[in-house]
Amino acid sequence: MPIENPFKIISVTGAHSKVGKTTLCSILLENLKGFGAIKFTKTPFYTSVVDDPVTIMKKDKDTAVMSGSGAEKVIWIKSPGRGLNDALNIAISKMNGLRGIVVEGNSPVDFLRPHLLIFIIGKDGHIKPSALRVSKRADVVIINSDKHIADPSFLGPFVKKNVKVFCMDLINRTGEIDKFLAFTKKYSEV
């Protein structure tokens, strides 16, 4: 059963690993004040909810990037999937007083009712089979490319009708980032 959201939740999902989810979370957290972040990592056997600052701030970890980008609080959930609903409930209960949360990962979408679901895809259009279901629920699609994609028709079978599409190079932070942020900020208002 989906978790009832006490505040705004923005889910950042993607076509496959290394597509730019953490970078997009960083951009969002730099621009949405009063937001926390939840990082989801799929594990084979156990579920844990980590908010220990030493672990969160480990060098070269996505959680450290999120914290350094302005997240008020960062929680790292590791889970094989079963137990994820309970872990999300625990993590969300630790976010009291925040305006919202940016949640990174595909699996949490099954347990949340995000106000905005963002799906990132590369210019090659590759989507791993397990991400296909999430892509079809997205409100926004980010095409992570250093070139503007004038005709994103390749997305047709992967996304719902009337999805909002933005092209941006997440590594170099160029492209339609300002348009995307303006669009996203209206969803972050409480």
DSSP calls for 37-86? EEEEEE-SS--EEE--HHHHT-TT-HHHHHHHTT-S-EEEEEE-STTHHH
Confidence at 43, pLDDT banded by 50, 70, 90 = very high
DSSP calls for 153-176? GGGGGGS-TT-EEEEEETTTTEES
State the pTM of this model.
Answer: 0.92
pLDDT in tens, 140-178: 999 999 887 777 777 777 787 889 999 999 999 999 999
Span 44-49, average pLDDT: 93
The C-alpha atoms of residue 47 and residue 83 are separated, in whole angstroms, by: 6
Q: Which domains does the chain have, with CATH numbers?
A: 8-188 (3.40.50.300)
Burial class (CB in 10 A: 0-12, 13-18, 19+), 134: buried
Span 105-115, average pLDDT: 94
Percent of the chain with pLDDT strictly greater than 90: 77
Mean pLDDT, rounded, of the chain: 91
